[in-house]
Every structure is written in C-alpha cells, then in structure tokens.
Amino acid sequence: MNGNNGSGLLDWNDARIFLAVARHGSLRAAGRALGISQPTVGRRIAAFEAVFGGPTLFDRFPEGLRLNEAGAVLLPVAEQLEDAALSLERHRAAASSVLSGTVRISVGEWAAAFLSHHVGSSSENPPPTGITLELVETMQTANLARREADLAVRHYPPESGDLYISKLGVFAGAVYRRIGAEARDWVTYPEEQGHFPMPRWVEQHVQETGASVVFRASDMPMHLTAIRAGAGRGILPCFIADEDPLLERVAAPVPETSCEYWLIVHRDLRRAACVRAIMDWVQSLFRSERDRLAGFVDHNDLSSWGDRKAEADVGNLARPNNGSREQSSQQPGE
C-alpha cells in the first residue's frame, strides 16, 4: 500500500520512536534512549509521518524538536498503543518459567552499594544462578510500566501505578571520620542538593557549632573516599563504614538520615520466574542483614564509641525524628 494516501501499514517500532522523540525533544536524545543511531531515528520518524499522509509531526527549533498540532493529536493514541504493547510484553515475561535472562533493578546509591556487595561468589547469599543482574542507579525511580526496569529498590515508593510494594528495611547513617584524625570539619553534598535531609542536617550542625565544610561532592562514594583520606567527618551508611578499618563512628546513628527502603515491581511481572527469584533474593538479603543495615553493632567493636569528646563535638545526634515516610525525605542519589 502507498503510505502517501494514508493507508500505509503502521510499524509499532516507528510509533515507539515517535514517542521517544516527543519525550526527549531531539533525535539524538531519543536515539540514546532507544540505543539506535540518530540517522535511524530520523528515517523512522519520516516513515511514521508518511503513514499519516506526510505532514510533519514536529516543529524544528535550534534547541530541538517539539510536537506540533498534528503530532499532539497522535500522542495519546501512540501512548495507548505503547501501553497495550508493554502489557503484552509483561504478560509474556510473566508466563515464562525459565530462570535465565537479565533482571534490571532501579536503585539509588546506597541500595546499589549494598546489593553490589552480595553479587560475588564470596557472598554468603549470592543471587540466583542463570540470571544476569543489572543495577541501574538513577535519581528517580525507573518507569516500571514502560519496562525501564523490572523492579526497583528505592527509598520511597511511587504514589501511583499498578505496583506491588513491600517494605524491605532501614538503612541507617552515622557520622564517621578517619581513625586518629581530628576531622572537625565536614564532608557533605553540593548546595544544589542541600534540600535533602542529610545535607540539611549537616548544614544545620555546621551553623550551630561554627565548624566548616571542607569538601562537597555529589555522591556517597566520593564522600567515603574523602573521609577515608582524613579530609573531614561526614555521614555515611553504617553497613559500609562500620566495616572499614580506616574509619571510626563518632556517635550513634542520626535518626534524620535513616532511610526506609521498599521493593517495587509491576503487578504483571511479580510472578515472572526470574523476577520472582530476584525479589526473593533481595528480601532475604535485607532480612539477614537487618541489624547491620540499621547500624546495630557491638559498642566494644567501635573505638569511637568510647570517645566522649568526639560525641560532644558532634552534639545531640539522637534527636527524635518526627518525620513520616514521604517523598520529601528522599536522600541524595535516591
């Protein structure tokens, strides 16, 4: 059939590319998101436009592409087609009983560090064999309906969607410094991340004590490296810092930095064999490591617990936490 008379056959892949360009605003960005080249995106968009008789669906600007009136009319219909195709794909995946393939998990930086620690053969609880585990660290939870990830381990669950959500446990954070270093000044996040609870707590303490911020970095691994080097003191997850031979805990975990973590999966995928196996693995890890994640340790094993002067330097870290689980309690990297 001739696409120019409006009777051409629609290729779902072209509709998928149309949606990607509409969402990302350029051929290059859409190509990156889909894993295809920019020229391929351009050709497929031209083919998609030809199916509808040839009118352009995007206005071209120096900064990128924007849906015009004709394209905006097609957008909700294309999204319905996407929803139906993705639903079919989720049901196909759920019907498989094979423990193989890749399972992608959307994580923040603390959850990424925790899960990565248990993927090796030296772990007492490694992931199921036959499955490739893929961790994707992003600021926001991946869109599970669009299969951006198969499941998520996040600090807060989405407020909507056809999702199965289960609480996993709590990650505690405390103030650490290099053993033997006075480290009165602080390591924290950049000012643009200052609205999160952890850097907000540090900034408040800096103001109250007259201390200084000696180093700012946008993620926890850089904080860990700087604190291990003796740059200053800062908040780190207890499950990492308590086991580091170069670090000592200055005082008890800070309630304001504790993070409840949740397992999130689309209901259509919940019973897919490989996804179910990874869900069970993640839940078993959080159960077995519950005390370590919450910062419960033998005080005799932490030399800093006997350092009363250091505790006085930090001040009252154990202030009651009156906050509830809300999106506003999100930590950096989550």
pLDDT tens column, 291-319: 999 998 654 444 433 343 344 344 444 33
pLDDT tens column, 140-172: 778 887 788 899 999 887 777 789 999 999 999
Residue whose structure tokens are 């850097």: 199
Residue whose structure tokens are 């999130």: 264
List CB contacts of 294: < 8 A, sequence separation 6 or more. 169, 170, 171, 172, 238, 253, 258
DSSP-assigned states of every residue in 104-165: EEEE-HHHHHHHHTTSSTTSSSPPPTTEEEEEEE-SS---TTTTS-SEEEESS--SSSSEEE
Q: Give pLDDT, residue 98.
A: 64
Tokens of 235: 């908040």
Q: Give pLDDT, residue 244.
A: 96
Residue 94: phi, psi to the nearest 5?
Answer: -65, -25
Beta-sheet pairing, 173-178 with 151-154: unpaired
Beta-sheet pairing, 173-178 with 247-249: antiparallel
Residue 36 scores a pLDDT above 80: yes
Q: Compute the residue count for the chain.
A: 334
pLDDT tens column, 84-131: 777 777 677 666 666 678 899 999 889 999 999 999 877 888 898 889
Q: Give pLDDT, residue 332.
A: 67
Separation of alpha carbons 214 and 194, rounded Å: 15
Share of the chain above pLDDT 90, in %: 42
pTM above 0.85, yes or no: no
Q: Give pLDDT, residue 95.
A: 66
Separation of alpha carbons 181 and 17, rounded Å: 55
Buried residues in 280-305 as b, exposed as e (16+ CB within 10 A): ebbeebbeebeebbbbebeeeebebb
Q: Which residues share a beta bridge with 154?
A: 262
Q: Which residues share a beta bridge with 130?
A: none
Question: Can you say how many angstroms the Cα of residue 183 is from the centroid of all Cα atoms in its chain?
Answer: 30
Separation of alpha carbons 218 and 4, rounded Å: 51
Domains of the chain (ranges, CATH numbers): 3-94 (1.10.10.10), 98-334 (3.40.190.290)
106 contacts 142 by C-beta, under 8 angstroms: yes
Q: Give pLDDT, residue 222.
A: 96
Tokens of 236: 């780190």
Separation of alpha carbons 155 and 267, rounded Å: 19
Cα distances (angstroms) measured from residue 14 to each of 11, 32, 43, 51, 259? 5, 16, 9, 10, 41
Residue 323 scores a pLDDT above 60: no
